[in-house]
Amino acid sequence: MLSSIILNLASLGLLSCLGTAAAALQSGVLFQANITTGQQTSFGPGPKGTRLSIPILGGTLTGSKLSGEVLSIGADWGLFDSKGTFNVDAYYQIRTNDGVDIFAHSQGPSQPDGRILTHITLETGNDEYYWVNNIAIAGITTVGNDFIVIEAYQLTPDA
């Protein structure tokens, strides 16, 4: 009896600390990237699945706050797991229209419809674009034979 009272009081305290509802998220288009990819290389089966390297050959990036080019530096070091899900692990470089270099990393699983849901992080030391270091980005990637299209959305908490 005493233990259930303590448990009830603890849960009430926890709920008051957490609030009554989780914050909702808003999303807005940050950019669309059209990227040309090269011939993939398979490293064969390994302990985590079959690892591939897919070269990133370049592309364009367009958005209201972020536009430029995707340089021919980088690759996707993705992995097919034992169930056939492809997990992106791509590293690449963006150069903005005003010459600022931004490092990008995309990670995420493929979906049954073939698209890939990704978490994208951006990194730069440039003061004007420093804001990209501190934002949450979700991506939807569509894959073609020698290209990918990334639709990137900036996530922000509901006001």
Looking at residue 108, which CATH number applies to its domain? 2.40.160.20
Q: Provide the domain count of the chain.
A: 1
Dist CA 116 CA 140 (whole Å)? 6
The predicted structure's pLDDT at residue 21 = 65
Percent of residues, the chain, with pLDDT higher than 90: 82
- Residue 11 has a pLDDT of 47
- What span, in angstroms and rounded, lies between the C-alpha atoms of 95 and 40? 24
Range of the domain at 134: 23-157
The candidate with the shortest Cα–Cα distance to 68, out of 18, 115, 22, 132, is: 132
pLDDT score recorded for residue 25: 86
Q: pTM value?
A: 0.83
- Whole-number average pLDDT of the chain: 90
- Min mean pLDDT across 44-48, 72-76, 83-87, 155-159 is at 155-159
- Whether 27 is in a domain gets the answer yes
